[in-house]
Amino acid sequence: MKLLRASLVVLPALLLGPSHSNAQPAAAADAAKATPEEGIPVTDPVVLAKCGGCHTKDSHGNLSRISWERATPEQWEEALKRMVRLNGVRLTPAEAKAIIKYLSTYHGLAPEEAKPVMYLAEKRIQDETIIPNDTLRGACANCHPLARPLSWRRSPEDWKMLANLHVALYPQADEAFRLGINAGGFGDHEKPGDVLPVDDALAYLSKTAPLHTPEWAAWRARMRAPKLAGRWLVSANITGHGKYYGELEVEPGGADDEFTTRVKLVSVKDGSTVVRAGHSLVYAGYSWRGRSKGTSPAGSAPDDLSSEMREVMWVSPDQSHAEGRWFWGQYQEFGFDVTLQRASTEPTLMGVDRSALKTGSQSNRVRLIGDNLPAQITAADLDLGSGVTVRRVVSHTPGEVVAEVDVAADAVPGKRDIAIRRAVLQSAIAIYDRIDYIKVVPESVVARLGSETHPKGYQQFEAIGYQRGADGKPHTADDVELGPVDVSWSVAEFYSVYGDDDKDFVGTLSPTGFFTPASDGPNPKRKFMRNNYGDIWVVATSKTEKSTDGRPLTGKSYLVVTVPMYMQWDQPEVGQ
């Protein structure tokens, strides 16, 4: 693989020319004099054969650039595709797979390093709380999540080379590196001698994401082949569909890190089943990447649960449990939140059919889902904490227990564990006195218009009730989540310009909170024949719960409906 010679030939002129005099990181001269950091030798014959022509090998077995980098499977895949697109590297599918396997395992991240940024691989849309300041936000997160660079580990010199590569390939990067959060023309340009945003970013990344870490050293010593074959218990939740429970059978595949899978899930809401089969590859002993699809053909509904899905999960270092997301859709907007735990001969509690119980309520039927539950169970075997009395056990099987419980009027609100003898399900059910407010999730999100050539990007909304928590104040960190609330759905205008009429054109919202965007435009029915884009409020109004002043509780989400993503830069295949 070639070394993107633009970064070697063009960049010195770019970085040292008059208009870019301040874009060179301040510590570059000192770094050039520093003793080079020890690299990670490359030993794989395929990597040496396909990459060694341009990435030169030294006497220690290091390949230039590669030996001073570590990354997640998705990031190595993107780097390999860049080599193919820009430098003409020729690879067979088997060679590409072997290279990504090797680099993701022996130049990968430790489980503790990968877990905080798993949301990037899982395609979750969320506000990043890991950005330490506006300087980092401007230099790095103007164009992509900060989780992207934090999915890499590099030497300080390699971080500088990455910055240079950005300037060479992306003209807007130089502006972001010099202006940071003000990139785009706002604020004063840099003055001679200023510390630029790129300098702060490189200092932060060199310290936060260095090549050598205690976590990686420990993981390299204890890493082992994934021994995942067997029966796993699955707990899953999908927005708008509710909770599912079931079993996953994992069988060995063509290599010691490859597997075939079959899963059966049962809906808590209506008892419907989902059966799926697939295959997966586990990188570095813990990074599960797979694909699966329903055993029956998928229907035409975009949120059909038989659709082909990608699976991204983090397997615990002891290989006893896993968690992650199985997702699908043109914009990965649909997905199961999934947790796995190994099945055992011991009784195990997996979940409960309801998320909350109200103080003072009587004869509540609670269904507990589990595995290998005791053959004989009495009310005394069940424990939901103080203030909750198990009146009787209605029925029980090895897979579930139905009990009738009373909640005292003075029971302390909050999350409760549920126990059947020694089997415990932590924070399984909430006790509450009233619902104080409703939150619509996702709280802010993007949907995309579609056309015959560009599929639509949909959104499913859900209304979640909350109790104010121990401090008595709503919208604080100790608030208690109570689960979905029965609501009526509507849309309202988000007024951003005079004569706003977006809610009439952007799309439709179903009685279950499913938003279907309109077709791409232009639309002759709109003023100025505009496209059907716009922004609106998605509003949930409770059918039963009221505020202290007697009005129905409401919540809302901010929805932006925009044009299709006409160009997608990358389509990951690491999920097999």
Q: What is the pLDDT of residues 285-304, one digit of tens each?
A: 999 999 999 998 888 899 99
* pLDDT tens digit sequence for 371-391: 999 999 999 999 999 999 999
Q: What one-character-per-residue DSSP string does 131-189 give?
A: --SHHHHHHTTTTS-TTTGGGEEE-HHHHHHHHHHHHHH-HHHHHHHHHGGGTTT-SPP
Sorted by sequence, the CB contacts under 8 Å of residue 153 that are 6+ apart come out as 69, 70, 71, 109, 113, 209, 210, 211, 213, 216
What DSSP state is assigned to residue 115?
Answer: G
pLDDT at 20: 37
pTM of the model as a whole: 0.89
- Bridge partners, 283 (sequence order): 287
For 224-276, write each residue's pLDDT tens digit: 999 999 999 999 999 999 999 999 999 999 999 999 999 999 999 999 999 99
Q: How far, in Å, CA of 177 to CA of 139, rounded?
A: 5
Banded model confidence at residue 17, pLDDT cuts 50, 70, 90: very low
Q: How far is 84 from 119, CA to CA, in rounded Å?
A: 27
pLDDT (average), residues 446-474: 95
Whole-number mean pLDDT of the chain? 90
In tens, the pLDDT along 363-376 reads 999 999 999 999 99
414: three-class secondary structure by DSSP: strand
Question: How confident is the model over 415-434, as a mean pLDDT?
Answer: 96
Q: What angle do CA 373, 375, 381 make, to 5 degrees?
A: 70
What tens digit of pLDDT does each residue of 69-101 get? 999 999 999 999 999 998 899 999 999 999 999
∠ at Cα 266 (263, 270), nearest 5°? 155
- Radius of gyration of the chain measured on its C-alpha atoms: 27
Mean pLDDT of 12-21: 33
What is the Cα 33 distance to its own chain's centre?
A: 40
- What is the crossing angle of helices 171-179 and 156-169, to 10°? 120
